């Protein structure tokens, strides 16, 4: 998995991935380059790169004794495209 934050970028190990967020691990030296928001992408085997998040909010950084740091991020929810507005409901009610 690749990450980008501000001027920093690197490769990390995905620990957890869900619709609401992700957890990944990087060397402690790289963790200092991860700002309050991060972009994550992953190559799907031999296929094309897949963007996981463009602007994920960093929720925590937890250093481990092995010289790595676990980073948790929360994905920004996408707006529902098919959500009806008040005008479209007026004719139904």
Q: Which residue has the higher pLDDT, 79 or 65?
A: 65
pTM score, two decimals? 0.76
pLDDT tens column, 50-71: 788 889 999 999 999 999 999 9
Domain ranges for the chain:
2-76
Q: What separation in angstroms does the CA of 78 have from each of 58, 63, 83?
A: 17, 30, 12
Which H or E run contains 26? strand 21-27
* Angle value at C-alpha 57, between 53 and 58, nearest 5 degrees: 110
d(CA 62, CA 70): 5
CATH of domain 2-76: 2.40.10.220
Distance CA 17, CA 33 (A): 21
């Amino acid at each position: 998995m690749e990450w980008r934050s501000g001027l920093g970028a690197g490769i990390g190990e995905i620990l957890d991935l869900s619709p609401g967020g992700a957890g990944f691990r990087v060397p402690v030296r790289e963790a200092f380059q991860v700002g309050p928001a991060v972009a994550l992408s992953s190559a799907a085997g031999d296929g094309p790169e897949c963007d996981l998040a463009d602007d994920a909010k960093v929720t925590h950084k937890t250093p481990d004794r092995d010289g790595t740091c676990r980073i948790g991020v929360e994905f920004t929810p996408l707006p529902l495209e098919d959500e009806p507005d008040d005008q479209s409901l007026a004719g139904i009610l």
